[in-house]
Chain A
């Protein structure tokens, strides 16, 4: 209402134009700013508000301890220890390269680490998870942490954190069962094997720790806090979820048996299994030489790890009870006997003359030590371990039907195939067949084709057979329990941390085989005789043992030397447990494996075994 252009002072048209242009620019600029504000605040407000909240809210993971592992009587096999880790907070780390280097140098002196190594470790973790604390060293001594805290100014960004470290109080005992757990790797994260695990979580990598990881791994807790731009916590904790410890796992393992087995092997390379013949519960399973799994709870170098895999050290990481492959020697005669009986090649009472050797094809097959056993039927053949008796069965099997009778029965009884045990990476071994050898011959891997001699050798567990103590235990158990091929398992029960059962871990038998009761009886009697009658191959070892058992020695010839075997079923006549042991370069079965099995049986049945353990000298 005051606009009255006529009253204006000299406003030239040029000035009016230029003022209008300036006004237009201002208008345009305001319009632009308003439009942009409308876009940011009204249209995208929710997105930015979420981003602002992301900025200020930090979720801090609280590591959940893994579940404990106990033996069947509740004795602790694997537990957790609270340790202090030194971590570094990326937000508080010095900006400058030189200052960081200086920090790593000082830290290296205190933690006894190489500064370069610290740098690599920290940078790698920060690359993967830019805002999370990076671990410099796990399990640091209390007084070192105290020193770091006292000299905070010299160590910007360095903070201690309580972590749980896996502890294996039994040391080398059972090391092959438990395996180990470590921080999840990028490859494992990508593989999807651990769907609920996140970067930085501890997961089972080997053994039981890996097999039952989903039960053992706890649920991490988390606290949500508000932080400022420097990452300092401001205000109260917003929310917290308590970490939940993983489930407790009760194993079928009996610590006493496990210790006895480990002691019985006495550092010699070998493996043992003790298993319930009816339900496949493994009460002991071990390998020697062993290692201390606590090693895996500490940082280690590649060289140290290589040593655990080296042949010179006896490859301690190898679980010889399930991952090795050996010929079974005469312990395999149980399989040949079952095949021959069920396949109708013989009856238990058919007598064969054992003259110490037999000529098959153009090769003389001889008894160990050229012993002449005279006329033998099945029971006695098992008792004295007559090779000739079984050579002839091998020859007969080769020439009847498709010639694969023994192979089929080996397969049925679980030799050369997966046992399904709840441990990772078992090796299946090998049952030699004509097809296999002829294939190898074609590919130039062997110098000859399959002959009847191969089957003859196979019938007494020599030659190309590769098996392991667990497979042999399953085969013996199947005969002992009347035909159930059990699926061995170590896990017994999932429990809460107080030991209350949550889930039973029994597993149904893998399959059944038909074994006539009189055949089973004959075989068991033969095995009993072998361990108790005069002339029995393991009688010297077991005649002073307080329990009646049935058992078979085996001596497999390998390029490295004689592989000593023994498989026992106890108590006789109604076996409950099968115990199998094998020792590399252990000499004859009765020499080392049988005494080892006796020690295991002592622990298993908790008998007072004061009798002197003698090594047998039977040449088988």
Chain B
């Protein structure tokens, strides 16, 4: 390590002289903090009139969630994630046990058993379940890394993912689909052959045909009717403006009305409640209406930064376990970002799914920050290792 150039000096300074947390990915942290700031501002604006007499009700609660989340993220980023590999059985057990527990205890919210009432907030276990699934699947694949081309490995991973996924789907289609995305992307990054994906695709198509066409014609509704409606309503929102299509239309109108620079206080779609769920699932529509194309572009740019950094961390991990964790987090983020934003702008079906780091909600916020903490841990460990090996590492 000789300081032969300015670049090297900077590297030296960053790598050896900085406090330990500088080993985390600073740009990723900036993207996260930027999105969090956007989220708090938007939630504050959107919900001012939602709870009579308490204009900051949702904002204050979200600040608490975010604070807890950031602390968790920073803590996890300093923990060596590799230890988690040994606990894969326990992790998977907690995942299944938790989902079943929610089933058993679950309070009814929006007609589905999704959450456990914890007094201060409702714990949606399926949010935390995503993280547990990522860890469990990554660990399983690492164990079978030699058999990665084998059918048993692919089948086993898909089975391990489908059990919790189907349990979640029965109550919450949107979140359950995230589980499947996570499994697919982890397999993809691990190097599963293309032929396996082709086979999975064919299986999925058959299953979809049975669920959507075959079973209903035999009188068995696998998906609940409202779930089917949601999946198909986006194809033609004006068909049924009173129900599913209504949300889609109102969301598009809100975003479109925002124009280039937004409507600010005149954001009537949001403020007069035409936009449903404006602080949770449809927060992106609020951004679009209040801050216009500029605001939406800023948020999307921060998301792009987030995705880019995640992809980078995926490639620089010191081991396969870290790579696969990053792949799972990437899957989770990309899936939620594109499905959520897509539904607000009318190119994706409406499924109840949050926009990471933007939507209001304790479970979602905390799960996302834990995922980000894992990413930072992968990053920090990669740099630690590189340093130990005496090698320089790109930021």
Contact = CB atoms under 8 A, between A and B. Distances in A.
A7 B394 CA distance: 8
A445 interface: no
Bin chain B's interface residue count: 35 or more
B315 A26 contact: no
Contacts of A228: 272-274
A48 B260 CA distance: 12
Given A9-B382, A23-B311, A40-B255, A52 B268 contact: yes
A56 B257 CA distance: 13
Nearest to B330: A22
Given A18-B189, A19-B189, A55 B256 contact: no
Contact of B393 (A7, A23, A25): A7
Interface in B179-200: 185, 188-189, 191
Given A7-B393, A15-B315, A55-B274, A37 B259 contact: no
B252 A37 contact: no
B310 to A, nearest CB: 9
Given A18-B191, A26-B307, A55-B274, A33 B256 contact: no
B255 A19 contact: no
- Main SS of the interface on chain A? helix
Bin chain A's interface residue count: 35 or more
Contacts of A19: 189, 311, 314-315
A588 B63 CA distance: 101
Interface in B223-279: 250, 252-260, 263, 268-269, 272-274
A51 B385 CA distance: 57
B394 A2 contact: yes
A234 interface: yes
A15 B256 contact: no
B253 A26 contact: no
A36 interface: yes
Interface string B295-312: 011001001100110010
A41 interface: yes
A1 interface: yes
Contacts, number: 144
Contacts of B382: 9
A22 B258 CA distance: 31
Nearest to B274: A229
Interface in A30-69: 30, 32-34, 36-38, 40-42, 44-49, 51-53, 55-56
B394 to A, nearest CB: 4
B341 interface: yes
Interface in B312-335: 314-318, 323, 330, 334
A404 B313 CA distance: 113
A396 B106 CA distance: 109
B7 interface: yes
A351 interface: no
A36 B345 contact: yes
B100 interface: no
A41 B296 contact: yes
B342 A33 contact: yes
A7 to B, nearest CB: 5
B392 interface: yes
A3 B315 CA distance: 13
A55 B189 CA distance: 47
B189 A15 contact: yes
Given A14-B191, A45-B260, A226-B272, A9 B255 contact: no
- Main SS of the interface on chain B? helix
A11 interface: yes
B300 A15 contact: no
Contacts of A11: 315
B191 A45 contact: no
A5 to B, nearest CB: 9
A99 B124 CA distance: 33
Nearest to B269: A52
Interface string A219-246: 0000000111110001000000000000
A22 B185 contact: yes
B253 A32 contact: no
Nearest to A44: B256
Contacts of B391: 7
Contact of B257 (A36, A48, A226): A48
A402 interface: no
A196 interface: no
A1 B7 contact: yes
Contacts of B297: 34, 37
Contacts of A44: 256
Interface in A567-585: none
A55 B274 CA distance: 8
A34 B191 contact: no
B274 A45 contact: no
A53 B257 CA distance: 9
B69 interface: no
Nearest to A51: B253
B272 A227 contact: yes
B288 interface: yes
Given A15-B189, A18-B188, A229 B272 contact: yes
Contacts of B272: 55-56, 226-229, 234
A435 interface: no
Contacts of B7: 1-2
A595 to B, nearest CB: 69
A4 interface: yes
B315 A29 contact: no
B306 to A, nearest CB: 10
Contacts of A193: none
Given A226-B272, A228-B272, A234-B272, A30 B256 contact: no
Contacts of A143: none
A8 interface: yes
Contacts of A23: 308, 311
Contacts of A3: 394
A11 B273 CA distance: 50
User: Of residues A11, A34, A52, which shows the largest number of chain B Cβ atoms within 10 Å of its Cβ?
Assistant: A52
Contacts of A22: 185, 188-189, 311, 330, 334
A226 B253 CA distance: 17
Contacts of A227: 272
A52 B254 contact: yes
B103 interface: no
Contacts of A41: 255-256, 258-260, 288, 292-293, 296
B378 to A, nearest CB: 12
A38 B263 CA distance: 16
A56 B269 CA distance: 8
A48 B255 contact: yes
Contacts of B250: 55
A57 B311 CA distance: 47
Contacts of B341: 33
Contacts of A30: 300, 303-304
Contact of B318 (A9, A47, A48, A226): A9
B395 interface: yes
Question: Would you list the 6 A-B pairs with minimal beta carbon distance, nearest first?
Answer: A48-B256, A45-B259, A52-B257, A228-B272, A229-B273, A41-B293
Interface of A: 1-4, 7-9, 11-12, 14-16, 18-19, 22-23, 25-26, 29-30, 32-34, 36-38, 40-42, 44-49, 51-53, 55-56, 226-230, 234
Given A37-B296, A41-B293, 18 more contacts: A2-B7, A7-B394, A9-B386, A18-B191, A22-B311, A26-B307, A26-B334, A32-B347, A33-B342, A41-B260, A45-B257, A51-B256, A51-B257, A52-B256, A53-B268, A55-B272, A56-B268, A229-B272
14 contacts: A7-B394, A9-B316, A18-B188, A18-B189, A19-B315, A30-B303, A36-B345, A37-B288, A40-B288, A41-B260, A48-B255, A51-B256, A52-B253, A52-B257
Interface of B: 7, 11, 185, 188-189, 191, 250, 252-260, 263, 268-269, 272-274, 288-289, 292-293, 296-297, 300, 303-304, 307-308, 311, 314-318, 323, 330, 334, 338, 341-342, 345-347, 382, 385-386, 391-395
